[in-house]
Amino acid sequence: LRLFASDPMHGIDLEHQLSLAADSDVLQAVAIVTNTGTTTLSIDHLTAPFLPIPHHADMIIGFEGRWAGEFQTYRQTRGAADHVRENRRGRTSHDNFPGLMLAASATGESGGDAWGFHLGWSGNHRLAVNSLSDGRAHVVMEALYLPGEVQLLPGENIATPVLYAGFSASGLNGLSQAFHHHLRARPQAGRLAKKPRPVHFNSWEAVYFNHDPAVLAALATRAAAIGAERFVLDDGWFVGRRSDRAGLGDWRVDRSVYLDGLGPLIAQVTGLGMEFGLWVEPEMVNPDSDLYRAHPDWVLATPPAPQLDFRHQLVLDFGREEVRNHIYSALVALLEEYPISYLKWDMNRDISHPGGGCGNAVATAHVAGVYAILDRLRLEHPQVEIESCASGGGRADYGILARTDRIWTSDSNDALDRLAIQSGFSHFFPAEVMGSHVGPSPCHTTGRRLSMALRVATALFGHMGVELDLRRLDTADTMMLAAGIALHKSHRALIHGGDLVRLDTAADTNAIAIIAKDRSEALLSLTVITQARGYFPAPLRLAGFDPAARYRITPVWPPQFPLAPFIVTGELLMLIGWRPPILPPETALILHLASI
């Protein structure tokens, strides 16, 4: 549906484009403004189409968070006032994900009316729920333009990012499943549809900047032995990169560390049957780098204000074609020299000085420049998969996901923290794009010591990976990790293609199920976070199963869990529920359900 409006007196045309996806009923809405006048038109504020919401949508469910604590949900009763969230960090951000849900007050995970809204944009944004005094209400979403940032010459136009919206009468789970189905049906998702998502080994929390080719080769051997299918060499491989103080921008292999380049390590990795991936942070530059010394004017800045230093790095102006061409050439040189099948694209700081060489704010142009490079990489090197990382989940949205294949969900690998992070993430994103790693104990971000069984159980329900020093594992943990990876692989098609159901539980418990589309099988994960108030656990009422089917329920994790298989109907599971065994805190149990 296309709606047109025109203001000939001021020379402005407005077009609204609305389309409904047949596979998911997800609405896509875009607004386009054209300057039909004879002078420059300044656009300071342009929203995607306003979407009305009904009176009984009285609960706002939003997202907040921080670094290593993304996608935390909050609930707020919708009153007779505006609910507004703004992000001015230059990237999607850790604390203001560009999405929200509305629900009727009685709506739960698996019942009641729910509406979801997401702006597919990777930069500054503004979200609002406007509740008017006459009872009407609507959702407003937009890319947030800084003053003077968007100037349209006569004949030029600008389109908003796509606003995605969905509705479910089956609670928040139905809403999530609609968004998941929509993402899985996109044409760009088809390029990976027939290939299992490889289990990762990532070098970061194993060695950090202390790169030693012999150590990395040994880690590769151990990673292959436990079942890893892709080895990702993280930060520290390029010129001068012995810490975070130098090297960004100089995307050449450090020959003082890798005497013969990356070739020997890659040969070791591929010889073990794994793919090779490489970490890059193309948008950033250290002042201590050859690139910055040659082109100090290529960074975003607001002179004469001094730069605010963060992580010893500055942001390159990707709105400038010469900057994009230089970075693209450096990346392509690596891809042409080495058989790299995967790029982990990181962005480790906010854009706090969004000024370009033109003297205007260019935060929007920077995001467009990032999109342009990623689009070019996808077109000219379609075999290379790309991960969106921004200090964890700081750039997670449908705009970046249209150009990438995986999102690094959070820099926290703490399995208990990850339960809430991954639950929030799952409202809009399916498991196969959710990077989820088994980290070390103690956890590097929280210091918490958690069992290998729990760490595996949490990571298993995403795009699974491992990020720890395998040399430090004892035999028991090594065997447990290998068994967990094997379990993930045996159920990977279900995890990455089934319908996610979050179960309504008390705060001391987390429970999810992933159910096959034909309801023939499922995995059920139950994690006890803290000690329950009652002695006996409350019955766990499931959802989404075939009520007429009989299911054989078998424990599959942890190995040798003392629970005999049993058979029960889907109707009983959903109406009465299953009472789990008494489990100690920080324990996870995974069951496999198969119809018979």
Our CA dihedral for 432, 64, 588, 509, rounded to 10 degrees, sits at -130
502: tokens are: 């979050």
124 vs 163: CA distance, rounded Å: 14
Question: In which residue are the tokens 């990382």 written?
Answer: 389
CA angle 326, 332, 337 (to 5 degrees): 130
Question: In which residue are the tokens 């594992």 written?
Answer: 473
557: tokens are: 């994790």
Strand-pair partners of 204: none
170 vs 551: CA distance, rounded Å: 23
Which is nearest to 44 in space by CA: 150, 181, 193? Answer: 150
Burial (0-12, 13-18, 19+ Cβ within 10 Å), 339:
middle
**In one letter, which amino acid is 286?**
N
**In one letter, which amino acid is 513?**
A
Contact 331, 282 (CB under 8 A): yes
Helix, strand and coil in the chain, % to nearest 5:
25, 30, 45
455 vs 457: CA distance, rounded Å: 6
383: tokens are: 């075999």
Give the three-class secondary structure for 42.
Answer: strand
Q: Which of 234, 254, 317, 346 is catalytic?
A: 346
Strand-pair partners of 523: 514, 592
Question: 445: how many CB neighbours lie within 10 A of its CB?
Answer: 18
What's the gap between Cα 40 and its chain centre?
Answer: 38
Return the sign of the alpha-carbon dihedral for residues 85, 90, 93, 99.
Answer: positive
Q: How far is CA 380 from CA 111, 282, 334, 336, in A?
A: 46, 18, 14, 11
Q: Which alpha helices (DSSP H) does 78-234 contain, by range?
A: 171-185, 204-207, 213-226
DSSP 340: -
Q: Which alpha helices (DSSP H) does 542-592 contain, by range?
A: 570-575
Preceding amide of 565 cis, omega within 30 = no
Q: Is 134 a catalytic residue?
A: no
Q: Is 346 a catalytic residue?
A: yes
Strand-pair partners of 592: 523, 554
143 vs 161: CA distance, rounded Å: 7
516: tokens are: 């096959």
Which is nearest to 423 in space by CA: 14, 71, 9, 31? Answer: 71
439: tokens are: 């980290």
Which is nearest to 204 in space by CA: 344, 70, 340? Answer: 344
Which is nearest to 92 in space by CA: 370, 396, 328, 295? Answer: 396
Helix-then-strand count for the chain, H and E: 13, 31
CA angle 326, 395, 406 (to 5 degrees): 85
Q: Which of 411, 414, 417, 499 is catalytic?
A: 411
Q: Hey, which residues are catalytic here?
A: 346, 411
